[in-house]
Chain A
Amino acid sequence: MALLLCNKGARHPFYYEQLDIDLWSIQELSYVIYRYPVIIPSEFVDHKLTAWLRDELNMGILAARLEQFMMAGDDGNQERLLLMILRESNYYTQAEISRFESEYKKLKNIERHVFLNMLGDTYLRMGKYGRAIEAYEESFFLNTDFNVEMKLAGTYVTVMQYQKASDLYEEVFIATGSDEALKKLYFISKLEPSVDTIEKYIENIGVDMLANWELLYNEVQAVAEQSDRVREIHEIYQKNRSAFREHSKIMILKWKREYRAKI
Chain B
Amino acid sequence: MNRYIGISLNDDYTCICINDKTVSRFQPTVIAKDKTEDKWTIGEDAYKATLAGSGVIVDKLLSLLEKNGTATISRVKYKAIDILARYFRELLGKDSNKTEDDIVAITIRKPNRDIVSKLKEAMIKAGVAEDNVYIMSHTESFAHFVLDQDNSLFNRMVGMFELNNQCLYYYEMHVSRGTKRYVMVGSEAEDEAFSLDILKTTSGGKIADKILTTVADRVMNNKSYSAVFLSGRGFQDTNFATNFMNYICKRRRVLIEPGMFAIGAEICVRNKAEGKNEEYMILCDTRSRADVSVKVTLNEKSETLPIVRAGESWMDTSSCYEMILDDQDYIDFQVTSISKPQRPLRLRMMLDTFPERDKRTTRIRMSTEFTDADTLKVTVRDLGFGDIFPASDKEIVEEIDLSEK
Interface set of A (CB-CB < 8 Å, partner B): 1-9, 13, 21-25, 27-28, 31-32, 90-91, 93-94
Residue numbers in A under 8 Å from B383 (CB-CB): 9
Q: Taking the nearest CB of chain A, how far is it from the CB of B360, in angstroms?
A: 7
Residue from A3, A5, A13, A91 with most neighbouring chain B CB atoms (10 Å): A3
Q: Is the CB of A27 within 8 A of B321?
A: no
15 sampled A-B residue pairs with Cβ under 8 A: A3-B296, A3-B325, A4-B296, A4-B326, A5-B296, A6-B322, A9-B363, A21-B386, A22-B386, A25-B363, A27-B363, A28-B388, A91-B324, A91-B360, A94-B300
Q: Tell me the B302-331 residues at the A interface (CB within 8 Å).
A: 302-303, 305, 321-328, 331
Residues of B contacting A8 in the complex (Cβ-Cβ under 8 angstroms): 322
Point out the residue from A5, A24, A27, A28 that lies within 8 Å of B298, measured CB to CB.
A5
Q: How far apart sit A24 and B386, CA to CA, in the bound complex (Å)?
A: 6
Question: A4 near B323 (CB under 8 angstroms)?
Answer: yes
Of the candidates A4, A22, A23, A94, which one forms a contact with B324 in the assembled complex, judged by CB atoms under 8 Å apart? A4
Q: Which residues of A contact B331 (CB under 8 A)?
A: 3
Q: Is the CB of A23 within 8 A of B297?
A: no
A137 to B218, CA, bound (A): 94
Q: How many contacts between A and B, using CB within 8 angstroms? A: 76
B299 at the binding interface (Cβ < 8 Å): yes
Q: How far is the CA of A5 from the CA of B298 in the complex (A)?
A: 6
Determine how close the nearest CB of chain A comes to the CB of B208; give it in whole angstroms. 59
Q: Is the CB of A2 within 8 A of B385?
A: no
A22 and B300 contact, CB distance less than 8 A = no
- Determine whether the beta carbon of B385 is less than 8 Å from that of A6: no
Which of the listed residues B300, B303, B328, B361 has the most CB atoms from chain A within 10 Å of its own CB?
B300
Chain A residues near B299 (CB, 8 Å)? 90
What per-residue 1/0 map shows which CB atoms of B21-62 lie under 8 Å from chain A? 000000000000000000000000000000000000000000
| Given A28-B386, A31-B385, also A9-B325 (CB < 8 A) | no
Contact between A31 and B298 (Cβ–Cβ < 8 Å)? no
The CA-CA distance from A90 to B322 in the complex, in Å, is: 13
Bound complex: CA A8 to CA B360 (Å): 16
Residues of B within 8 A of A21 (CB): 386-388
A-B pairs, top 10 by smallest CB distance, nearest first, are: A2-B297, A1-B328, A4-B324, A5-B296, A2-B326, A24-B386, A28-B386, A3-B323, A3-B296, A1-B327
- Knowing that A3-B295, A91-B324 touch, tell me 16 more A-B residue pairs with CB under 8 angstroms: A1-B326, A1-B327, A5-B296, A6-B323, A6-B324, A6-B363, A9-B363, A13-B386, A13-B387, A21-B387, A21-B388, A25-B386, A27-B385, A31-B361, A31-B388, A32-B388
